Amino acid sequence: MKKILLLIFIAGLNFSLYSQELEDILDQEAPDYTTITTGTFNGTRIMNGHSVETRKKGILEFVISHRFGRINTGIYELFGLDNSNIRFGFEYAIIDDLTIALGRSSFEKTYDSYLKYRLLKQKTGAEDFPISLTLFGSATVKTLRDYEPEDEPPFIDRLTYTTQILLARKFSPDFSLQIMPTYIHFNTVPTTEDPNDLFAIGIGARIKISKRISINGEYYYTINPFTSVTTYNSIALGVDIETGGHIFQLIFTNSRSMLEKGFIAETTGNFFEGDIHFGFNISRAFQVKKPKEKNKLY
């Protein structure tokens, strides 16, 4: 009789566990899904250079960046604020993974254009993949008239090209790391001793200190720098603030240029002697084309 009672008890227990059973069925029936890791970095830039991030299809991002003069110029120059250079750019995501951009820098009156393609994405779940990989290619043209009118160089001589492979991993919601092997080609170099092809490797990281604020850092090591001028490796440190559609980045860097060829190859400031430029990037994203309603995750 005791056994019977026990069985009845078990049967009763089963009844009370029914919603648990329903939940179990749902867990069982839920398809295996893969989550693409998003937000490795807040913006398309870590500091001076690019992050692996691309915008979603149909987003036009307007980016305004400033770099002021050197802080160690003192109070007379208001710590560099009297002397500013600006880049503004329009960056449009044709598809989720491909961005095309046009920009203009006041420094050396340079126009730039880049293509950025996100080839691989970090994923977790049914399909696991540890890193994101983005390809970056840009061309710049200097239009500053730094020559005698009769010696005007041909257009082609004023071009440079940059190719980068951006490899990043979001280790945790708060910490992401990126490595950037870089190749830069100058059609013209200052002297014949200087290399036309420069190789560099960059490393960048972000540490989130709150949901919307992170500390970012970036360092580029140039393997074969120019020899006719003293150049330094580019260092940038700053804060990244995301406010829903806007991204503000406040930057301290020894580089004056905001273009890859400039800050990687032509940085003349020594960070540790106070040749530091304060600057910022501000970006505003506009959804100019509406995405499709349904986006299947699994």
Partner 1 sequence: MKQLYFILFTVLLAHQAFSQDKYLTKEGYVSFFSHSLVEDIIANNNQVLSIIDTKTGEIAIQLLMKSFSFKKALMQEHFNENYVESHKYPKAKFIGEIINFTDLNEQINETEIRGTLSVHGEEKEITTIAIVDIQAEEIIITGEFTVEVADFKIKIPSIVINNIAKTIKISFELHHKPYIK
CB-count burial class (<10 Å; 0-12, 13-18, 19+) for 262? buried
User: Cβ–Cβ contacts within 10 Å for residue 272, how many?
Assistant: 10
Is residue 31 part of the contact set for partner 1 (CB under 8 A)?
A: yes
Is residue 294 part of the contact set for partner 1 (CB under 8 A)?
A: yes
Assign 3-class secondary structure to 57-78: CCEEEEEEEEEEEEHHHCHHHC
Q: Which is nearer to partner 1, 94 or 144 (CB)?
A: 94
Q: Which of 163, 166, 162, 57 is nearest to 120 (CA)?
A: 166
Half-sphere exposure for 241 (CA within 13 Å, toward CB) = 8
Is residue 181 part of the contact set for partner 1 (CB under 8 A)?
A: no
| Among the residue ranges 22-30, 143-151, 186-194, 227-235, the one whose residues contact partner 1 (CB under 8 A) | 22-30
Is residue 173 part of the contact set for partner 1 (CB under 8 A)?
A: yes
| Among the residue ranges 4-12, 64-72, 184-192, 263-271, the one whose residues contact partner 1 (CB under 8 A) | 4-12
Task: Find the binder of partner 1 among 209, 212, 223, 229 (CB under 8 A).
Answer: 212
Angle between helices 18-29 and 2-16 (to 10 degrees): 50
Q: Which is nearer to partner 1, 145 or 292 (CB)?
A: 292
Q: What's the token pair of residue 244?
A: 């829903």
Q: Which is nearer to partner 1, 156 or 297 (CB)?
A: 297
Give the type of residue at 130. Answer: P
Q: Which is nearer to partner 1, 24 or 157 (CB)?
A: 24
For the chain, give percent helix, strand, coil, nearest 5.
15, 45, 35
Task: Find the binder of partner 1 among 153, 181, 245, 274 (CB under 8 A).
Answer: 245
Is residue 8 part of the contact set for partner 1 (CB under 8 A)?
A: yes
Q: What's the token pair of residue 259?
A: 């273009």
Is residue 298 part of the contact set for partner 1 (CB under 8 A)?
A: yes
Is residue 272 part of the contact set for partner 1 (CB under 8 A)?
A: no
Considering only residues 143 through 162, tell me which ones interact with partner 1, judged by CB under 8 A.
none
**Taking the complex as a whole, how short is the minimal distance between the CB of residue 13 and partner 1, in angstroms?**
11
The answer to whether residues 72 and 275 touch, using CB atoms and an 8 Å cutoff, is yes
Is residue 52 part of the contact set for partner 1 (CB under 8 A)?
A: no
Task: Find the binder of partner 1 among 72, 187, 188, 287 (CB under 8 A).
Answer: 287
Is residue 55 part of the contact set for partner 1 (CB under 8 A)?
A: yes
Q: What's the token pair of residue 148?
A: 């005698």
CB-count burial class (<10 Å; 0-12, 13-18, 19+) for 74? exposed
Q: Strands, E, within 173-245: which ranges?
A: 175-186, 197-208, 213-222, 234-242
Pairing of strands 84-95, 132-142: unpaired
Enumerate the β-bridge partners of residue 132. Answer: 168
Considering only residues 58 through 97, tell me which ones interact with partner 1, judged by CB under 8 A.
58-59
| Among the residue ranges 11-19, 78-86, 187-195, 222-230, the one whose residues contact partner 1 (CB under 8 A) | 11-19
**Taking the complex as a whole, how short is the minimal distance between the CB of residue 140 and partner 1, in angstroms?**
28
Q: Site for partner 1 (CB under 8 A): how many residues? A: 44
- Chain residues in the site for partner 1 (CB under 8 A): 3-4, 7-8, 10-11, 14-15, 18-19, 22-23, 25-27, 29-31, 33, 35, 38-39, 55-59, 173, 211-212, 242-245, 285, 287, 290-291, 293-298
